[in-house]
Chain A
Amino acid sequence: MYTQGLDSLGKDGERDPARDAGALERAFQARVDAEEKIEPKDWMPEAYRRTLVRQISQHAHSEIVGMLPEGNWITRAPTLLRKAILIAKVQDEGGHGAYLYSAAETLGVSRAELIDQLLEGKAKYSSIFNYPTPTWADVGAIGWLVDGAAIMNQIPLCRCSYGPYARAMVRICKEESFHQRQGYEIMLRLSRGTAAQRQMAQAALDRWWWPSLMMFGPSDAESKHGAQSMRWKIKRFSNDELRQKFVDFTVPQADFLGLQVPDPALRWDEAAQHYRFGAIDWSEFEQVLQGHGPCNRERMQARRQAHEDGRWVREAAAAWAAKQAAREGREEAA
């Protein structure tokens, strides 16, 4: 991903103003329609670039903040194996953040800029990570439901029109499946356990069900960016389509656990071959998005603290590299 090469072109400087912008845009759309991938140095409409920077960086921030609710349980995982699994999963999330930041950087933004936006509270991340994880069952529910919803969203992104984003998503999707299965297995163990364990699993499902459905974003009628993103083939399916698919996949999994989905309106529609579900409380979604969720402040504080705590390491590494480079320079000169 040739970020620096891209910067050296001076971004817009290389464009030939004599060429008709409309013609360039039509040619771009024709390439997208023909399922050709767009690569970093190709011409692209400014709005396409902006949309991708926003979406990819929000996605990256979500992976980074997403480490926090689960990281909470690393020291308290019930067995050594569970601890090792959870560390591996949280490490994956950090890796996913890194792949995605790299993809965003190919569009001409710097990593430092993106991280600043997150730490200053200017950037959004998935609202799901502002919910607390009070019990071990929450770790199971996150893997099963939150990662399950993420997979549903992410699989179509592997075919996104922007090459670096699509490639990052392929890598991420390969790893997500482990996350979902380990989460479901935690739920399975608990739901086959003691009455208290079953109750714990049910309570976690009750907590995570609706926030997971909200992960697909506002309904199609309300979605701000949906139609244009579909035209640009950044998005392949609408929010409501993906949400429906998630419900259809997940309800039988809950049945198998013997747990109750917390929705009195939920029923199977034989004619449509879909589950019908109750209305989503979007006011809650808005609240969390505006920063008034249960853990918004705590998450940002933890993130900033981690950044500050790591400062001396970054400074030491940079100083060491500068010293080595200076030494090599002297040896070459000698």
Chain B
Amino acid sequence: MTDERRDWPLYEIFIRAKSGLDHKHVGSLHATDARMAIEHARDLYTRRLEGVSIWAVRSSDIVASDPADADALFEPARDKVYRHPTFYDIPDEVKTL
């Protein structure tokens, strides 16, 4: 890490906007360690009260699906419309269903 030309590790930053909500991905930044990632995330992503909690995850630790596999992964769900409540025709007279 003494080689100045090498970028510091990349962290993905997730912010919880307020308690009760999920942490949401907001972007990424470089930091030497986790503590610096949190400190930089605070300066970079919460200058206007955007959050009450920060997660920082090393980008290299994220396992992502490959866009090329999208069909194989998601296609099987496409013809299963019966998984949605709107698939079922219920007469209007029946209430609260």
Cβ-neighbour of A99 out of B6, B27, B48 (below 8 A): B27
Please judge, given known A-B contacts A3-B59, A5-B59, A105-B10, whether A314 and B4 are in contact too, CB under 8 Å.
yes
Nearest residue (CB) in B for A106 is B28
Within 8 A of A (CB), among B19-35: 26-30, 32-33
Residues on A with C-beta less than 8 A from B91 are none
Separation of A39 and B66 alpha carbons in the complex (Å) = 11
Q: Is the CB of B2 within 8 A of A315?
A: yes
Residues on B with C-beta less than 8 A from A88 are 47
- Interface flags for B55-66 (1: CB within 8 Å of A; 0: not) read 000011010101
**How many A residues face the partner with a CB closer than 8 A?**
36
Q: Is the CB of A39 within 8 A of B32?
A: no
Partner-contacting stretch, out of A90-98, A214-222, A256-264: A90-98
Please judge, given known A-B contacts A4-B59, A91-B47, A321-B32, whether A315 and B66 are in contact too, CB under 8 Å.
no
Q: Is B73 an interface position by the 8 A CB rule?
A: no
Q: Is B44 an interface position by the 8 A CB rule?
A: yes
**How many B residues face the partner with a CB closer than 8 A?**
27
| A interface secondary structure, majority | helix
Within 8 A of B (CB), among A100-116: 102, 105, 110-112, 116
Q: Is the CB of B59 within 8 A of A322?
A: no
Separation of A4 and B32 alpha carbons in the complex (Å) = 15
Residues on A with C-beta less than 8 A from B4 are 311, 314-315, 318
Residues on B with C-beta less than 8 A from A42 are 67
Separation of A27 and B60 alpha carbons in the complex (Å) = 30
Q: Is A253 an interface position by the 8 A CB rule?
A: no
Q: Is A123 an interface position by the 8 A CB rule?
A: no
Please judge, given known A-B contacts A3-B10, A42-B67, A105-B10, whether A318 and B27 are in contact too, CB under 8 Å.
no
- A sample of 8 cross-chain residue pairs with beta-carbon separation below 8 angstroms, ordered by A number, consists of A4-B60, A95-B44, A95-B47, A102-B29, A116-B5, A311-B4, A321-B36, A322-B2
Q: Which residues from chain B sit less than 8 Å from chain A, CB to CB?
A: 1-2, 4-8, 10, 12, 26-30, 32-33, 36, 43-44, 47-48, 59-60, 62, 64, 66-67
List 4 A-B pairs, minimum CB-CB distance, nearest first.
A321-B32, A318-B1, A321-B33, A1-B28
